[in-house]
């Protein structure tokens, strides 16, 4: 992704706001999973693997009918998930139901019924668990979830007659006696070419909590949560979980994005040890996720390294080779093993984790895209271990009283900016590789004002010999050719990290020396009553 920003003065700082728009064009949502809550079929088990299917009801809340023809019908995925001991895992998936004949029933609005070849406005369509039986379904590899295109005719599943093609779950993952305290969920996703190419594919997934009395007796527990992917199910029972839905913009053309849903949780285990758990679900990206990278210092020791994928079966071509890991360049990375093709494909979720003696800070993780396409990385706001890399760059223009005095003697802490209304000075640091060819550099702000907007900007010179001049409640450190980089919003702790590719956004070349700073709002009780402040300055020497 390229971010080209015109040079602007600080007076041009502008915040844009927008409203959520209703979906226009053809649209599909998963209105119900398991119908009234009991339509979940269990077919028995073979070799310690149970087989299931469940009912689904779709709805068209859009402004156009959805095509349901032989060439353009939707396909339906079915998944099971388990939350156990703080780990959220994808434990089973089915082959795909291929839709036929939309019945145009009531249940999701004023149904404008149409023929069997389309799903009308406000109309619903239900497939019971028997019709959704994966034994008669097709493989995921034959479907491009980004565009909705799928191959015909599709092969039939192979393997044991009891389990082939069906939603397969290991007994060890579903039997309550082996999973004390566990919580289970079902998820379903519809893929429609007509909807996908209208740019409406993101909301065609829903989840529902399950009540697992035994491996052979499963019903629902609560209603279907419409338009939300599985990571949101994790958050529904654990509010400490954070979920960020992100995309690879225009992967399938203008307005057709490759969607991902990422969840994470950081747990204080005591004794200075922290546990970091992450899940990545690919909803519609054909480029798929081939790596997951979390900022972390190269020398930081970790324990309880963890990875979980979901088994493919019944003749699916994807292998199940576990991902390999690497700790280098200020990142800890899981990635597809050499010679393997086990990327996170659509409607699948992989889980990652580790324990480490480093508390969390705001950072940006990276989804590395597996196939060549419109981008190579998708950045995701997460919490990652502090001290997550060797600090890059040189701090200057400190508001700690060692240079130019702060405007009302509101000196901050060592190497930070001038004191703000929190009693601290906001700091700016950088971590990663300041190479224009690699560029993993990330700016991190600490001790700013929670939820108050700030502007990251750069300049070509250090003002007043690097000591800065009074500006608002702080010091203006950076001048010359000033370029705006991005607007950021610190979290509840006053921390935030940059999301743009800095060398691209700032048009940096090898050999350039660039100075960075953050301007931020401090509208209530600012020490000098000016309502805004700045961090220290940070100088980066860009390498080839």
What is residue 72's predicted lDDT score, i.e. its pLDDT?
Answer: 86
What is residue 11's predicted lDDT score, i.e. its pLDDT?
Answer: 36
Rounded to a whole number, what is the distance in angstroms from the first to the last CA of the chain?
20
Kindly state the helix (H) or strand (E) to which residue 233 belongs, with its residue range: helix 230-237
- Farthest-apart Cα atoms in the chain, separation: 79
Q: b vs e for 448-473, b when ≥16 Cβ sit within 10 Å of the residue's Cβ?
A: bbeebebbbbbbeebbeebbbebbbb
DSSP letters for 184-230: EEEEEEEE-HHHHTTT--TT-EEEEEEEEEETTEEEEEEEEEET--H
pLDDT tens digits for range 329-357? 788 999 999 999 999 999 999 999 999 99
Note whether 453 and 487 are within 8 A (CB): yes
Question: Could you give the strand order of the β-sheet that contains 348-356, starting from the edge strand earlier in sequence?
Answer: 242-248, 258-270, 273-282, 348-356, 302-308
Ordered structural domains, the chain, with CATH: 29-385 (no CATH), 390-541 (2.60.40.10)
DSSP state, residue 179: S
Distance CA 119, CA 68 (A): 7
What is residue 544's predicted lDDT score, i.e. its pLDDT?
Answer: 81
Cα–Cα nearest to 494, from 523, 453, 433, 524 = 453
Structure tokens at 267: 């747990």
Cα–Cα nearest to 399, from 486, 482, 466 = 466
Strand bridging mode 118-119 / 49-54: unpaired
Chunk the chain into consecutive blocks of 10 residues (it has 544) and report each block's average pLDDT, rounded to whole numbers: 29 28 81 96 98 98 93 95 98 98 94 96 97 97 95 92 99 98 99 94 97 98 97 97 94 94 96 95 98 89 96 95 92 94 98 94 90 89 74 87 93 89 92 83 91 97 95 97 96 89 94 96 96 96 87
209, β-bridge pairs: 185
pLDDT tens digits for range 9-52? 333 332 222 222 347 899 999 999 999 999 999 999 999 999 99
Other CB atoms within 10 A of residue 250 CB: 16
DSSP letters for 25-67: SB--EEEEESTTTT-EEEEEEETTEEEEEE-EEEE--SSBPEE
Cα–Cα separations (whole angstroms), residue 315 to 139, 318, 338, 349, 437: 8, 9, 22, 19, 41
pLDDT tens digits for range 358-391? 888 878 899 999 999 988 889 898 989 976 445 6
Distance CA 544, CA 527 (A): 42
């Amino acid at each position: 992704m390229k971010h080209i920003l015109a040079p602007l003065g600080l007076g041009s700082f502008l915040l844009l706001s927008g409203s959520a728009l209703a979906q226009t064009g053809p649209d599909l949502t998963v209105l119900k999973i398991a119908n009234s809550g009991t339509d979940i079929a269990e077919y028995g088990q073979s070799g310690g693997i149970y087989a299931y299917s469940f009912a689904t009801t779709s709805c068209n809340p859009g402004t156009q009918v959805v095509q349901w023809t032989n060439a353009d019908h939707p396909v339906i995925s079915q998944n099971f998930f388990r939350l156990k001991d703080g780990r959220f895992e994808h434990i089973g998936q089915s082959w795909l139901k291929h839709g036929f004949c939309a019945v145009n029933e009531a249940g999701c609005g004023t149904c404008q019924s149409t023929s069997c070849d389309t799903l009308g406005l406000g109309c619903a369509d239900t497939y019971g668990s028997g019709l959704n039986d994966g034994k008669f379904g097709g493989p995921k590899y034959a479907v491009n979830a980004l565009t909705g295109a799928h191959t015909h005719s599709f092969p039939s599943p192979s393997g044991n007659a009891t389990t082939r093609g069906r939603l397969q779950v290991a007994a060890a993952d579903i039997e309550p006696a082996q999973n004390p305290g566990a919580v289970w969920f079902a998820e379903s996703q519809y893929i429609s070419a007509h909807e996908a190419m209208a740019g409406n594919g993101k909301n065609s997934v829903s989840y529902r909590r399950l009540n697992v009395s035994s491996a052979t007796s499963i019903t629902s527990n609560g209603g279907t949560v419409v338009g939300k992917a599985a990571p949101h199910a994790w958050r529904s029972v654990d509010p400490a979980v954070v979920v960020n839905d992100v995309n690879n913009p225009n992967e399938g053309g203008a307005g057709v994005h490759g969607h991902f849903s990422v969840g994470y949780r950081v747990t204080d285990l005591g004794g200075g040890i922290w546990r970091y758990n992450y899940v990545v679900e690919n909803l519609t990206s054909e480029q798929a996720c081939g790596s997951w990278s979390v900022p972390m210092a190269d020398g930081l020791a970790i324990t309880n390294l963890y990875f979980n994928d979901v088994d493919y079966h019944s003749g699916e071509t994807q292998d199940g080779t576990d991902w390999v890991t690497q700790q280098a360049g200020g990142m800890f990375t899981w990635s597809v093993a050499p010679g393997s093709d086990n990327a996170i494909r659509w409607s699948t979720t992989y889980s990652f984790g580790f324990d480490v003696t480093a508390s969390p800070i705001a950072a940006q993780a990276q989804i590395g895209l597996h196939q060549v396409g419109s981008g190579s990385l998708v950045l995701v706001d997460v919490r990652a271990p502090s001290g997550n890399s060797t600090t890059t760059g040189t701090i200057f223009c400190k508001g700690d009283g060692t240079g130019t005095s702060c405007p009302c003697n509101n000196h901050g802490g060592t190497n930070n900016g001038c004191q703000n209304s929190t009693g601290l000075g906001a700091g700016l640091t950088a971590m990663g590789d300041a190479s224009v060819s690699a560029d993993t550099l990330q700016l991190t702000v600490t001790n700013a004002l929670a939820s108050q907007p700030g502007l990251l900007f750069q300049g070509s010179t250090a003002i007043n010999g690097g000591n800065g001049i009074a500006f608002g409640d702080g010091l203006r450190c950076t001048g010359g050719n000033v370029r705006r980089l991005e607007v950021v919003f610190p979290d509840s702790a006053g921390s935030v990290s940059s999301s743009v590719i800095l060398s691209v956004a700032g048009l940096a070349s090898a050999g350039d020396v660039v100075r960075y700073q953050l301007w931020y709002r401090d509208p209530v009780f600012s020490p000098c009553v000016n309502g805004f402040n700045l961090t220290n300055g940070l100088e980066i020497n860009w390498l080839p």
